[in-house]
């Protein structure tokens, strides 16, 4: 990486983290046997909507290290100008913080930790997926 991680914008970390989470969601759904495009798209909403990400973030907050918590707070605190109608400002801020955290961990190469946090975050959702 050419730029130190502390110099990467929070928006860029969240942008990357969104992709990291999207890949984890897709891998989870395909591994669970969900196969039709309609079902894949419907099930993915259980993971990617701001409201779902805020709930997931609440699930993992107690498990974060100080460093991870700082990355989350950094993302949560960026200025938001466009909040989706389906989420509150608080939910959207938590979701952005989660994305920044996952982007941060990915840039550090902490893929095992990413998998662990994802499983903790979405354990109830993963259990509810119907094949």
Q: Which residues are catalytic?
A: 18
Rounded-to-integer distance, Cα 115 and Cα 128, Å:
18
Rounded-to-integer distance, Cα 74 and Cα 97, Å:
7
Q: How many CB atoms lie within 10 A of CB 64?
A: 17
Residue 104 in tokens? 């941060």
């Amino acid at each position: 990486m050419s730029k130190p991680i502390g110099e990467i914008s929070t928006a860029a970390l969240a942008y990357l983290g969104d992709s990291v989470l999207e890949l984890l969601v897709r891998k989870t759904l395909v591994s669970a046997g969900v196969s039709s495009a309609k079902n894949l798209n419907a099930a993915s909403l259980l993971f990617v909507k701001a409201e779902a990400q805020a709930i997931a973030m609440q699930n993992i907050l107690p498990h974060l290290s100080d460093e991870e918590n700082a990355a989350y707070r950094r993302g949560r605190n960026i200025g938001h100008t466009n909040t989706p109608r389906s989420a509150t400002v608080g939910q959207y801020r938590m979701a952005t913080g989660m994305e920044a955290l996952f982007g941060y961990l990915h840039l550090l190469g902490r893929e095992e930790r990413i998998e662990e946090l994802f499983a903790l975050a979405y354990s109830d959702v993963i259990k509810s997926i119907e094949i």
